[in-house]
Chains A and B, each alone.
Chain A
Amino acid sequence: MKRKIAKSVSLALGLALLATACGDDGGGESSEGSSGEDIVIGVAGARVGPIANVGEGVGEAVNDWFEMVNANGGINGRKVKIEEIETKYEVPPALEAFARFQQSGAVMVAVEGTALSDALTPVSEQSKIPIIFPGQGNLDTLDGEAFPYAFPAGPLYAHQATATVQQQVDELGSDISIGCVAWEPPPGREYCEGVKNATESLGAEFAGEVVIPAAAADVDAQVRGAVALDADVVLHAAIFGQAVLLLKGLCDQAPDLPVGAWHWAITQNEINGAGAECMEGKFGASMSTLPSDEPEAVQMLRDYWEESGSDPNPVLEENSLYGNGLYIATVIEEGIRQALEIVGDDGEVTGEVMKQALESIDGYEGYGVACPITMSEKDHSGNRAVNIYEIRDGSWDRIGDCVTGPPVSNEPDVS
């Protein structure tokens, strides 16, 4: 009798399991900005954890920008709601955050950090909500047909590297050797791979690579390694405290060595940490126009702060970090504007409409913050250009506008 009951229960459970497997997954809230309502944009933030400075800079800029946009009446009358959820640069919280954005009806998600953009690429496709991650991510996501809902929309690490090498070759000639110092996680390694790739393409010599472990508190060995490369120029993909230690070390051991950086390390933090004297002549690439150049977007924000009686956000002083956030914010704004053109000002914006909208962006410069951005169904790169800055008299001075390097050998063909 007992066995019979157990069998019956097991059978019932099995049948119920089958029923639930067949069940509809669309039972939750819709992922769309319904007619006339606020348009929800998710931000998978990273203000805590290994890229906290990036998260803080980008997060503040995106929130500031849309506070201003909403105060000025929104985009074609539609307000934009920014929903930021902290991920600590960890993947499981990012997956949870994405599901929450979906539940909130987000039509696009801005992602901070390559690990997160990688992890969210499949779920963005499954849920048909585009993710946008300018200045990060991996080369494969340039291909819009392979990854239809992933939008790098800006120069990836390898592009930043090739553009910087191009600028050095243009300035010093191809008879130079360039070494690279990489932060150990994938973005840093991909940057140095880009340097190697570009030196080979442009006829220069790649002097070698030195790697800084992700959590290293001391980089003296890497400083010595970089000097030992005996390169004419050293480019680095270090971040925050490690970048400062590296620059200080190189100033001590090779004061005349030209040193350049990727776009997460051309902040005020480097100048304050390594000292203005040490930093004089150092250079770096930025996908955004630095706020210290006072592009139109920064002037708009300053006007808004003045009119509303608020103090300017102190994070603005972090320069490239805030500037890159403005880049992301303005691309989101343009995406929404294009989406409203497709569906009408009171129309229903969905993730699929946002995808279509992003793919119709053509030559957009983000109020002076970005080099011209163009995307299509096939090409999600946006652009491959960076501005080159050099420290002169203690501050970042632009010496190259929208420089593009040679194509990276392993990037997908999106022509």
Chain B
Amino acid sequence: METGRFHEKYAEEIAVYGTPYRRIWILAVLAVTFVVVPLVASPYWLVVLTLVGIAAVGATGLNVLVGYAGQISLGHAAFAAVGAYTSGLLVSRADAPFWVAIPTAMVAAGVFSLIFGLASLRVKGLYLAIATLAAQYIVQWILSSWTWITGGFQGIVIFEPIEIGPFDTTTPTGKYLLVFITLAVVVMFVENLMRSRSGRAMIAVRDQDIAAAGSAVSPLRYKLLAFFISSAIAGLSGVLYGYNAGLVSTEVFTLALSVQYLAMILVGGLGSIPGSILGAAFITMLPIWLRDLLPAVGIELSASVEVHLLTMLFGVAILLFLVLEPRGLYGLFRNIKDYFRMWPFSY
């Protein structure tokens, strides 16, 4: 009978497959994600899951910075915008193929974020949050004012769909697969990053940057690396947004989106990849569940009353969740899992 999980070697601690069952679980999740869902889900649910996937990519990126490196950003929507516009403009104006435009967009978003990442060497916490907020305002101003870049005040850049054989991003299935294949790659990358020297260095800087510096871990290098990787992934989520909607405009990447990314990782669980995905699903789908819940329990309200009630319920749900389970959804999931794993001696 298992009474706990103990690692005797360092290699065991950083193993991807911590238990033999994990490999099966991962294969099962992949099979459900890439086979069952596209075959079974209705187009509506494919659209919803695609939105969850895009949010999960952005939230996973932010979790690298906030959860693993201990920095904060209120500018991730801006970095997503840099990625989206770079990719969209490269394809639409320079006729670049998407496989060139997407990595370039990620690099552009990452490099742009370094300007603000430099501030992290001098300021922390709320001060850094405000410094990254500047990124948000600067990008929004550029998008609405530099019309020679965006082509007009609306800043509309069309994303030509990707079509490779039967794969077509104009269909809900094509969009879903594009987003979830990308999410799988991002998850694999971040999972491995955190098992690498760089990942451990980021965690060391997060936990105690002076001690880390004393151990030959450069806070400058790893804070900037965290900013770069995190923002490049945010840029990727901006690109995915463009392919999903078919275009981007200046009013998409707002401060509200940056705050939502933060809410996702807080609700899901800081410093946890599954937490990022669960948080993205929670924040994206809770308004839908609440909206469908009222008629299901026989409450019929006028549109005007219903919308304000739902907005309030959404706020209350997040508040309750943060108070009752501060470790987030992934913490809750682990508690439940451990309870059953240890049963009948779960205490």
**Are A21 and B174 closer than 8 Å at their CB atoms?**
yes
Name B166's contact: one of A18, A47, A95, A114 (CB within 8 Å): A18
**Are A103 and B307 closer than 8 Å at their CB atoms?**
no
**Are A118 and B156 closer than 8 Å at their CB atoms?**
yes
A85-B291, A115-B252 as given contacts; A63 in contact with B152, CB under 8 Å: no
**Are A102 and B39 closer than 8 Å at their CB atoms?**
no
A118-B249, A122-B246 as given contacts; A21 in contact with B173, CB under 8 Å: yes
Closest to A104 in B: B44
Q: Does A346 contact B (CB under 8 A)?
A: no
**Distance between Cα atoms of A23 and B27 in the complex (Å):** 22
Q: Does A92 contact B (CB under 8 A)?
A: yes
B-side interface mostly: helix
- From B29-37, B113-121, B208-216, B320-328, the one touching the partner chain is B29-37
- From A186-194, A259-267, A349-357, A358-366, the one touching the partner chain is A186-194
Question: Which chain B residues (46-90) contact chain A, with CB distance < 8 Å?
Answer: 46-48, 51, 54-55
**How would residues 86 to 123 of chain A score, 1 for a CB under 8 Å from any chain B CB and 0 otherwise?**
10101111011011101100000000001100110111
CB distance from B159 to the nearest CB of A (A): 8
A20-B38, A25-B173, A138-B154 as given contacts; A126 in contact with B246, CB under 8 Å: yes
**How would residues 150 to 187 of chain B score, 1 for a CB under 8 Å from any chain A CB and 0 otherwise?**
00111110100000011110111110010000000000
**Distance between Cα atoms of A22 and B51 in the complex (Å):** 21
Question: Which chain B residues (238-261) contact chain A, with CB distance < 8 Å?
Answer: 241, 244-247, 249-252, 254, 256-257
A20-B38, A92-B55, A96-B288 as given contacts; A56 in contact with B43, CB under 8 Å: no
Residues on B with C-beta less than 8 A from A88 are 311
Residues on B with C-beta less than 8 A from A189 are 144, 153
Closest to B158 in A: A122
CB distance from A329 to the nearest CB of B (A): 14
**Are A91 and B166 closer than 8 Å at their CB atoms?**
no
Name A140's contact: one of B156, B241, B245, B291 (CB within 8 Å): B156
Name B303's contact: one of A20, A47, A103 (CB within 8 Å): A47
**Are A119 and B288 closer than 8 Å at their CB atoms?**
no
Most buried by A among B35, B153, B244, B245: B153
**Are B44 and A28 closer than 8 Å at their CB atoms?**
yes
**Are A115 and B170 closer than 8 Å at their CB atoms?**
no
A13-B30, A138-B156 as given contacts; A100 in contact with B44, CB under 8 Å: yes
Residues on A with C-beta less than 8 A from B154 are 114, 118, 138, 186, 190
**Are B250 and A21 closer than 8 Å at their CB atoms?**
no
**Are B287 and A93 closer than 8 Å at their CB atoms?**
yes
Residues on A with C-beta less than 8 A from B308 are 47-48
Closest to B256 in A: A90
Q: Does B231 contact A (CB under 8 A)?
A: no
Residues on A with C-beta less than 8 A from B30 are 13
Name A23's contact: one of B38, B48, B244, B288 (CB within 8 Å): B38
**Are A56 and B304 closer than 8 Å at their CB atoms?**
yes
**Are A27 and B156 closer than 8 Å at their CB atoms?**
no
Q: Does A172 contact B (CB under 8 A)?
A: no
CB distance from B133 to the nearest CB of A (A): 12
Residues on B with C-beta less than 8 A from A122 are 158, 245-247
Closest to A89 in B: B251
Question: Which chain A residues (311-365) contact chain B, with CB distance < 8 Å?
Answer: none
Closest to B34 in A: A17
Q: Does A59 contact B (CB under 8 A)?
A: yes
**Are B245 and A95 closer than 8 Å at their CB atoms?**
yes
Q: Does A37 contact B (CB under 8 A)?
A: no
Residues on B with C-beta less than 8 A from A138 are 152, 154, 156
Residues on A with C-beta less than 8 A from B307 are 45, 47-48, 86
Question: Which chain B residues (123-156) contact chain A, with CB distance < 8 Å?
Answer: 144, 152-156
Residues on B with C-beta less than 8 A from A90 are 254, 256-257
CB distance from B283 to the nearest CB of A (A): 10
CB distance from B322 to the nearest CB of A (A): 21
**Are B43 and A27 closer than 8 Å at their CB atoms?**
yes
**Are B166 and A21 closer than 8 Å at their CB atoms?**
yes
Residues on B with C-beta less than 8 A from A16 are 31, 34-35
Question: Which chain A residues (180-205) contact chain B, with CB distance < 8 Å?
Answer: 184-186, 189-190, 193
Q: Does B230 contact A (CB under 8 A)?
A: no
Residues on A with C-beta less than 8 A from B46 are 25
Residues on B with C-beta less than 8 A from A92 are 51, 54-55, 284
Residues on A with C-beta less than 8 A from B250 are 185-186
Closest to B285 in A: A96
Name B310's contact: one of A86, A95, A185 (CB within 8 Å): A86
**Are B251 and A22 closer than 8 Å at their CB atoms?**
no
Residues on A with C-beta less than 8 A from B173 are 20-21, 23, 25
CB distance from A7 to the nearest CB of B (A): 12
Residues on B with C-beta less than 8 A from A9 are 27
A86-B307, A122-B247, A123-B246 as given contacts; A25 in contact with B177, CB under 8 Å: no
**Distance between Cα atoms of A337 and B42 in the complex (Å):** 31
A13-B30, A86-B310, A190-B154 as given contacts; A99 in contact with B177, CB under 8 Å: no
**Are A91 and B245 closer than 8 Å at their CB atoms?**
yes
CB distance from B22 to the nearest CB of A (A): 14
**Distance between Cα atoms of A123 and B158 in the complex (Å):** 12
**Are A118 and B153 closer than 8 Å at their CB atoms?**
no
**Distance between Cα atoms of A29 and B42 in the complex (Å):** 8
**How would residues 303 to 347 of chain B score, 1 for a CB under 8 Å from any chain A CB and 0 otherwise?**
110011011000000000000000000000000000000000000
CB distance from A64 to the nearest CB of B (A): 11
Closest to B306 in A: A86
A59-B303, A91-B252, A102-B44 as given contacts; A13 in contact with B35, CB under 8 Å: yes
**Distance between Cα atoms of A95 and B244 in the complex (Å):** 9
Q: Does A84 contact B (CB under 8 A)?
A: yes
Residues on B with C-beta less than 8 A from A390 are none
In the complex, besides A13-B30, A25-B171, A48-B308, 13 extra interface pairs with C-beta distance below 8 angstroms are A13-B31, A20-B35, A23-B173, A28-B42, A47-B307, A48-B307, A86-B287, A90-B257, A91-B251, A95-B244, A99-B43, A100-B44, A186-B250
Jot down 28 A-B pairs with beta carbons below 8 A, ordered by A.
A13-B30, A16-B35, A17-B35, A17-B177, A19-B35, A21-B165, A63-B302, A84-B303, A86-B287, A86-B307, A95-B47, A95-B51, A96-B48, A96-B51, A100-B44, A102-B44, A115-B252, A118-B156, A118-B247, A119-B252, A126-B246, A186-B153, A186-B154, A186-B250, A189-B144, A190-B152, A193-B153, A410-B152
Q: Shortest 10 CB-CB distances between A and B: which pairs?
A: A122-B246, A115-B251, A20-B38, A99-B47, A189-B153, A22-B166, A28-B43, A16-B35, A186-B153, A28-B42
**Residues of B participating in the A interface, judged by any CB pair closer than 8 Å:** 27, 30-31, 34-35, 38-39, 42-44, 46-48, 51, 54-55, 144, 152-156, 158, 165-168, 170-174, 177, 241, 244-247, 249-252, 254, 256-257, 284, 287-288, 291, 302-304, 307-308, 310-311
